[in-house]
Chain A
Amino acid sequence: MTPSLPDLLMGHMIALSTPMPPEATGDYLVGRLGLLAMISILAVQEAERGVDTRVWENKAIRSILQRAGAGAPCEPAEDLTWSALDRENAQLRRALIAAHTSAEDRGDTALGREILGLYHEMAGRRQLVLPPTS
């Protein structure tokens, strides 16, 4: 789930300002710029939905942890910055991994299936759509 959008934009600046040796121009440079263009297309989607997705995911994990009787490992983020939401998300995901492992060990298949359903929705909400090239 890394890099984050701020990281990617920083990477764009670094990639575009790094001089290329003479043997890495031509097709290689064209390919490299194409990759940066692809990342830009995807970054638009992340900028539009990324915060909302993280807020939803953090809330959904808290909810399932509560039903699992596991308790949340942290308080909700106090601000909606990417870094604060990702820090909260990392703690919640670690707790979710532990809760899922515990459910498997206990043979709690109902909770296990509920968690798998959550994974499916988490992955779907984070989906980035890359238009196919011709």
Chain B
Amino acid sequence: MSLADQLAAYLTRLNGAPTTVENLARIPGGASRETYRYDCVVDGVRRGFILRRDPPGSLIDTDRRQEFLAIRSFAGKDVAAPTVVALEESGAELERPFFIMERVEGGAPASPFQADPYGAHAAAIGERFFSIMGRIAGEPVEGLPILDAIDPPAPEDCWRRELDYWSGVIEADEEHPQPIVRAAIRLLRREPPPPAAKLAVVHGDYRTGNFLHDGAGHIIALLDWEMAHVGDPLEDLAWAMDPLWTQIGDARISGMTPREEAMAIWRKASGLEIDPKAFRWWSLFASVKGQAIWTSSAKEWRDGGMKEPVLALSGWYTARRQDQILAEQLLAWSA
């Protein structure tokens, strides 16, 4: 039975009415989940949806329920969160866990490898990008659906929880010794940051390439919430500003907005200050987390039979670029 047939069988059961699936097509990107677009037709009415299904192997091992509830936490809150409609943790007719959300039409993501990805609309996209991040950071976490899936850390433990997790990933998945990231991990443990100014939902992969924009300066959907959790809001800001996501030689963050301006937009939208000592810690952590993801991707690529080129590229080219960024940060910290 094809995936389209399996999906139609599931939707027919879910809708309680005969449902057909048309134009099912896998979408490039979204390396941690298989992502498909499709049209659902019920009683002659056609609607567009996105299916996110767990792959056999992926960049990161994440909880799709946490992702689903994170997106739901921001429904109607002007952060361009998509509308999620169904979650199946058992896999149901599709054999692997998945969830479904409404498709947002009329936009496309930019590639992190693209030069000047937003052209004349760079400043407008930057304003929106850092404002949305700030609004997510400023949102009180109490009562949000994501709390049904996770136990939030104490403000003073946010750093430890994240560092323990990602250093554990490196420990488990490393196939060749990595002295640079290990030096960074030791430094982060020796000099922890101050407690989080507030607890916030951390998107976890908030960066260029993970949102749809309409080509006219508007962000219309924020994607890839699979690493969402509750933690220190500076984590997202530091991740988005990691030099990995910016073309070498471009003074703007990800081809959008100069650094100081980006931070000012975030401060205004979040109502939070940026402690320089804390931000330096989270910036180095961002590169450690990145290297952990690229380390995992190399292992998944090999374990999965060397089939997925996105895992090979991440585990090789991206890992090497991340090592350069880490080495520069370590030198700057020791100066």
Find out whether the CB atom of B316 lies under 8 angstroms from the CB atom of A8: yes
Give the complex CA separation of A127 and B183 in angstroms. 19
Tell me whether A35 is interfacial, beta carbon within 8 Å: yes
Proximity bits, B12-50, A CB within 8 Å = 1, else 0: 000000000000111111000000100000000000000
Find out whether the CB atom of B176 lies under 8 angstroms from the CB atom of A1: yes
Find out whether the CB atom of A93 lies under 8 angstroms from the CB atom of B176: yes
Task: Across the interface, name the chain B residue whose C-beta is closest to A112.
Answer: B334
Residues of A close to B176: CB separation below 8 A: 1-2, 86, 89-90, 93
Find out whether the CB atom of B179 lies under 8 angstroms from the CB atom of A126: no
Q: Which chain B residues in 1-16 approach chain A with CB under 8 Å?
A: 2-4
Residues of B close to A116: CB separation below 8 A: 183, 327, 330-331, 334
Tell me whether A101 is interfacial, beta carbon within 8 Å: yes
Interface of B is mostly: helix
A1-B319, A35-B309, A122-B180 known; A134+B26 contact, CB < 8 A? no
Interface centre among A90, A113, A116 (most CB of B within 10 A): A116
Residues of B close to A122: CB separation below 8 A: 180, 323, 327
Least CB distance, B245 to chain A, in whole angstroms? 13
Find out whether the CB atom of B28 lies under 8 angstroms from the CB atom of A31: yes
Least CB distance, B241 to chain A, in whole angstroms? 19
Tell me whether A100 is interfacial, beta carbon within 8 Å: yes
Q: Which chain B residues in 136-179 approach chain A with CB under 8 Å?
A: 175-179
Tell me whether A133 is interfacial, beta carbon within 8 Å: yes
Residues of A close to B327: CB separation below 8 A: 116, 119-120, 122-124
Find out whether the CB atom of A10 lies under 8 angstroms from the CB atom of B306: yes
Proximity bits, A85-96, B CB within 8 Å = 1, else 0: 010011001101
Query: Which single member of B179, B247, B302, B330 contacts A3 (CB below 8 Å)?
Result: B302
Find out whether the CB atom of B301 lies under 8 angstroms from the CB atom of A100: no
Query: Which single member of A1, A18, A124 contacts B324 (CB below 8 Å)?
Result: A124
A30-B28, A96-B179 known; A117+B331 contact, CB < 8 A? yes
Tell me whether A104 is interfacial, beta carbon within 8 Å: yes
Tell me whether A78 is interfacial, beta carbon within 8 Å: no
Question: Which of the 9-residue segments B62-70, B92-100, B110-118, B220-228 touches chain A?
Answer: B110-118
Find out whether the CB atom of A15 lies under 8 angstroms from the CB atom of B308: yes
Tell me whether A27 is interfacial, beta carbon within 8 Å: yes
Tell me whether A42 is interfacial, beta carbon within 8 Å: yes
Find out whether the CB atom of A26 lies under 8 angstroms from the CB atom of B317: no
Give the complex CA separation of A21 and B328 in angstroms. 43
Least CB distance, B67 to chain A, in whole angstroms? 21
Residues of A close to B326: CB separation below 8 A: 119, 123
Proximity bits, B68-112, A CB within 8 Å = 1, else 0: 000000000000000000000000000000000000000000010
Task: Across the interface, name the chain B residue whose C-beta is closest to A27.
Answer: B28
Tell me whether A80 is interfacial, beta carbon within 8 Å: no
Residues of A close to B2: CB separation below 8 A: 21-23
Task: Across the interface, name the chain A residue whose C-beta is closest to B115.
Answer: A132
Smallest CB-CB A-B distances: 9 pairs = A31-B28, A132-B115, A93-B177, A11-B306, A35-B309, A28-B26, A123-B324, A123-B323, A120-B327
| Chain A interface residues toward B at CB < 8 A | 1-3, 7-8, 10-12, 14-15, 18, 21-28, 30-32, 35-36, 38-39, 42, 86, 89-90, 93-94, 96-97, 100-101, 104, 109, 112-113, 115-117, 119-120, 122-124, 126-128, 130, 132-134
5 extra interface residue pairs, beta carbon distance < 8 Å, beyond A7-B306, A23-B36, A116-B331:
A11-B309, A15-B306, A23-B24, A26-B25, A120-B331
The 20 sampled A-B contact pairs (Cβ below 8 Å) are: A1-B320, A2-B176, A3-B301, A12-B309, A15-B307, A15-B308, A22-B2, A24-B26, A28-B27, A31-B29, A32-B310, A35-B312, A97-B177, A100-B183, A113-B334, A115-B183, A116-B327, A119-B330, A128-B317, A134-B114
